[in-house]
Homo-oligomer: A and B are copies of this chain.
Amino acid sequence: MSQEARQTDETYEEFLDHVQTYNYVGDAAGVLGWDQQVTMPEEGTPARSKQSSALSTLRHDLLTDDDLAAWLDELDDLDGERGAVVREVGRAHERASAVPEDLVKRISEASSNALPVWEGAKADADFSQFEETLEELVQLRREYAEAIDPDRDPYEVLFENFEPYIDIETAEEILTELREELPDLIDAVAESDVEPADPFEGEYDPDRQEDLVREALDTLGYDWDRGRLDTAAHPFSTGTQFDARVTTRFSPEDPMGAVGSTIHEFGHASYTLGLPDEHYGTPLGDSRDMTVHESQSRLWENHVGRSLPFWRLFTSAVEDHLGVDTSPRALYEHSNEVYDDNLIRVEADELTYHMHIIVRFEIERDLIRGDLDVSEVPGVWNDKYEEYLGVRPENDAEGCLQDIHWSHGNFGYFPTYSLGSVLASQLFAAAERELGDLDDDIESGEFDRLYGWLNENVHEHGCRYTTPDLIREATGEEFTADYFLDYATEKYGDLYDL
């Protein structure tokens, strides 16, 4: 080994050690976040905020550190796995270094203060209480985007916080295709005479529901030695390849809601658990961004959990735990019912879901670009719901105040939900091209082949590839909405006799 190569190896080791510390602290913060949402006593917040904020400051210091900058310079021409690590860390370092500390602090404080204001406004269904706060958050995020790159579209810059590698044009193309193609299908469903079955009535004990979703996790092969299930107000999953936890919640009237949400979070966790142990703490052992993560949750939730073969497998569990008499077809219909008067994103089916996302995307894009005034948000929101979904919110709580994202100061996040669903279809199709039809696997509870394919083509790469490269490597194609549209047309055609 040359003197120079040996020097590079040494520098890379120092660099990697620093990166690992940064990531370990991030995962520690993740444990604090899980605890806060799942187990923390209610008056623990003041201390927890300070603990989380201290970890966040230390992480920022580690990421903007001068040593790190020097190592990144020195390691600039590495390729392969080491090059990927340098690329990912370099990108995060540049973003963090570009934003003045004072602005980071103002955004963090504004977001903390915004949460109770948004909660109050939502409780009173009164956007005017939140208007000034939202205005401040929009302005701060515009400043943030400008600090990172004053010459680019600020919305694009923010979008890259959640999806750094799919360019905004591609994202907009896909959303536009959904906006153009889906309404006809949604209209056809609305006009269909088919009345989907609903085998449920009355209320179902949360303890019985919990037994049921635990059996769903068992059935899908969730690794309990590296995971756990708890309840949380807003279901989420979090963790590492050694410990990836899921949460759910139970609504007495809607037992299938918990099943769907649990399988969704299982999908996220299955990605996390599939990351390579040996790269823990580095980008090679970390998941790709929101689009890919959401593709995994959506794949399991929709392509497996809302399929007829799955209900052939799992109907008896529903009958046993909930004491209902039903059939696979009935549960398949029920879990895919399109509610054409639904105003709430998180209760949407696979079709209308994207229209909910497109409303949010268009509004946040225009806010950040300065093309829309904050005061106009409720009116524009309601108009778009009427235009895209044929329903008009009666108040701001079921309208533009329903989601938490903007109060967190997160603009540019929403599109990744749709992109993730679309990618799920593309990946599932690629898996079936290689493995053959997966219906029999699903119906017999054999998930090893599907899981193996996802693991080999998605999970085990960590952040080795950029998102477009990962999609290309896994599917042999560019990112496209075609597979989702085919899937949706076929599935809802069957369900609604179109």
A interface with B by C-beta (< 8 Å): 20-21, 24-25, 27-29, 31-32, 35, 39-48, 50-55, 57-58, 223-228, 240-243, 245, 277, 280-281
CB distance from A32 to the nearest CB of B (A): 6
* Cβ A47 vs Cβ B280 within 8 A: yes
Task: Look across to chain B and name the residue whose beta carbon is closest to the beta carbon of A54.
Answer: B24
A contacts with B: majority SS: helix
Bound complex: CA A54 to CA B51 (Å): 15
* Cβ B277 vs Cβ A41 within 8 A: no
Find A243's partner among B41, B225, B277 (CB 8 Å cutoff): B41
Chain B contacts for A39, CB-based, 8 A: 39, 228
What are 27 A-to-B residue pairs whose CB atoms are below 8 Å? Answer: A20-B50, A21-B54, A21-B58, A24-B51, A24-B53, A25-B54, A25-B55, A25-B58, A27-B51, A28-B29, A28-B32, A28-B51, A28-B54, A31-B51, A40-B243, A41-B224, A41-B225, A41-B226, A41-B228, A41-B243, A42-B225, A43-B223, A43-B225, A43-B226, A44-B226, A47-B280, A58-B58
Interface centre among A31, A39, A281 (most CB of B within 10 A): A31
Bound complex: CA A297 to CA B227 (Å): 34
Interface centre among A39, A57, A226 (most CB of B within 10 A): A39
Task: Look across to chain B and name the residue whose beta carbon is closest to the beta carbon of A224.
Answer: B41
Bound complex: CA A27 to CA B40 (Å): 13
Chain B contacts for A41, CB-based, 8 A: 224-228, 243, 245
Bound complex: CA A93 to CA B319 (Å): 63
Bound complex: CA A408 to CA B155 (Å): 52
What is the count of identical protomers in the complex? 2
Bound complex: CA A224 to CA B39 (Å): 12
Chain B contacts for A53, CB-based, 8 A: 24
Find A240's partner among B47, B226, B245 (CB 8 Å cutoff): B47
Chain B contacts for A277, CB-based, 8 A: 46
Chain B contacts for A47, CB-based, 8 A: 27, 240-243, 280
Bound complex: CA A281 to CA B40 (Å): 18
Find A44's partner among B25, B43, B242 (CB 8 Å cutoff): B242
Bound complex: CA A52 to CA B242 (Å): 14
Chain B contacts for A48, CB-based, 8 A: 242-243
Chain B contacts for A281, CB-based, 8 A: 50
Task: Look across to chain B and name the residue whose beta carbon is closest to the beta carbon of A280.
Answer: B47
Chain B contacts for A45, CB-based, 8 A: 242
CB distance from A138 to the nearest CB of B (A): 31
Find A25's partner among B51, B225, B245 (CB 8 Å cutoff): B51
List the 6 closest A-B pairs by CB distance, nearest first: A44-B243, A24-B54, A47-B242, A28-B51, A43-B225, A47-B240
- Known A21-B54, A25-B51, A51-B24; judge A242-B46 contact (CB<8 A): yes
CB distance from A3 to the nearest CB of B (A): 27
Bound complex: CA A52 to CA B47 (Å): 19
Interface centre among A24, A228, A241, A277 (most CB of B within 10 A): A24
Bound complex: CA A58 to CA B28 (Å): 12
CB distance from A223 to the nearest CB of B (A): 8
Bound complex: CA A261 to CA B277 (Å): 38
Chain B contacts for A243, CB-based, 8 A: 40-41, 43-44, 47-48
Bound complex: CA A172 to CA B493 (Å): 85
Interface centre among A25, A28, A40 (most CB of B within 10 A): A28
Interface centre among A27, A47, A242, A245 (most CB of B within 10 A): A47
CB distance from A29 to the nearest CB of B (A): 8
Chain B contacts for A242, CB-based, 8 A: 43-48
Chain B contacts for A228, CB-based, 8 A: 39, 41
Chain B contacts for A25, CB-based, 8 A: 51, 54-55, 58
Chain B contacts for A225, CB-based, 8 A: 41-43
- With A28-B29, A31-B35, A58-B58 already in contact, 9 other A-B pairs whose C-beta atoms are closer than 8 Å: A24-B53, A25-B54, A28-B51, A28-B52, A39-B39, A39-B228, A44-B242, A44-B243, A47-B243
CB distance from A246 to the nearest CB of B (A): 11
Task: Look across to chain B and name the residue whose beta carbon is closest to the beta carbon of A25.
Answer: B54
